[in-house]
Amino acid sequence: DSGVTQTPKHLITATGQRVTLRCSPRSGDLSVYWYQQSLDQGLQFLIQYYNGEERAKGNILERFSAQQFPDLHSELNLSSLELGDSALYFCASSKDYNYGYTFGSGTRLTVV
Amino acid sequence: KNEVEQSPQNLTAQEGEFITINCSYSVGISALHWLQQHPGGGIVSLFMLSSGKKKHGRLIATINIQEKHSSLHITASHPRDSAVYICATLLYNFNKFYFGSGTKLNVKP
């Protein structure tokens, strides 16, 4: 157990639907990062939150949004899902940029 | 955009061999990460480097900021080292991560 908890582990849903992925960071970590890994695009950075505020944004689609709550857990919301959104979604946490990162085990999303 | 190039893309080694994976990037960075992704999909952060060299067990990571190049070395490789190794860069303005395409390592007994 890395200390970063992601739920659910697997998710199958239909096109057009909306899903929410959840991440609980390691105790003491203030930063949460979201990544997408698809077969054709590899790993891509989506977004980072630090202590409740958005700090950095990567290749995140407008249909996707995220937030970090006061207890520091984070949720990634994916809406109007398309087949191409099928991927592994990873969350990682760290104390801040200059500290090591710990990854969660990922959520495998399949859009059918 | 910071292009991150890894080589080789695939690597097969015999148990016990010394392995080197290379990563080159095109613009200045604040840090470089080496990640290991197991066949089951889980990702482990191995190293975060901004200069010099770091060692953890049989793994050694080096970075040359002037040459924009990093290497990951595995000494006395073992079949359990079989995984995909990914290099990732964090740019100076802290708002972009770029990932290499990964090196798939297979260590045969």
CB contacts, 8 Å: B95 with chain A: 55-58
* Residues A103, A92 contacting (CB under 8 angstroms): yes
CB contacts, 8 Å: A36 with chain B: none
Query: What's the pLDDT at B2?
Result: 56
Query: What's the pLDDT at B90?
Result: 82
Query: What's the pLDDT at B6?
Result: 95
pLDDT tens for B69-79 read 999 999 999 99
| Average pLDDT across chain B, whole number | 91
Nearest residue, CB atoms, A106 vs list B41, B94, B98: B41
Distance from CA of B5 to the nearest CA of A (A): 13
CB contact under 8 A, B99 and A44: yes
Residues of chain A with pLDDT > 70, as a percent, come to: 98
pLDDT tens for B11-62 read 999 999 999 999 999 877 888 999 999 988 889 999 999 899 999 999 999 9
Which CA distances in Å does B28 have to B1, B4, B7, B48, B95?
11, 12, 20, 15, 13
**Backbone angle region of B107, left / alpha / beta, with phi > 0 → left and psi within -120 to 50 → alpha:** beta
Distance between CA A46 and CA A63 in Å, rounded? 12
- Going by pLDDT thresholds of 50, 70 and 90, the confidence category of residue A42 is confident
CB contacts, 8 Å: B43 with chain A: 90, 92, 103, 106
Asked if residue B79 has a cis previous peptide bond (ω within 30° of 0), the answer is no
- Run of H or E residues at B36: strand B29-37
CB contacts, 8 Å: B97 with chain A: 33, 45, 58
DSSP string, A54-66: EEEE-S--TTEEE
Which CA distances in Å does B56 have to B44, B75, B96?
13, 11, 27
Query: What's the pLDDT at B13?
Result: 97
CB contact under 8 A, B43 and A106: yes
Distance between CA B2 and CA B30 in Å, rounded? 12
CB contact under 8 A, B41 and A105: yes
What residues pair up with A19 in beta bridges, in sequence order?
A: A78
CB contact under 8 A, A45 and B86: no
Q: Is the pLDDT of residue B105 over 70?
A: yes
CA nearest to B41 within chain A: A105
Q: How do strand B4-7 and strand A31-38 relate by DSSP bridges?
A: unpaired
3-state secondary structure B58-106: CEEEEEECCCCEEEEEECCCCHHHCEEEEEEEEECCCCCEEECCCEEEE
Interface A:B, Cβ pairs < 8 A: 52
Mean pLDDT to the nearest integer, A48-57? 92
- Going by pLDDT thresholds of 50, 70 and 90, the confidence category of residue B1 is low
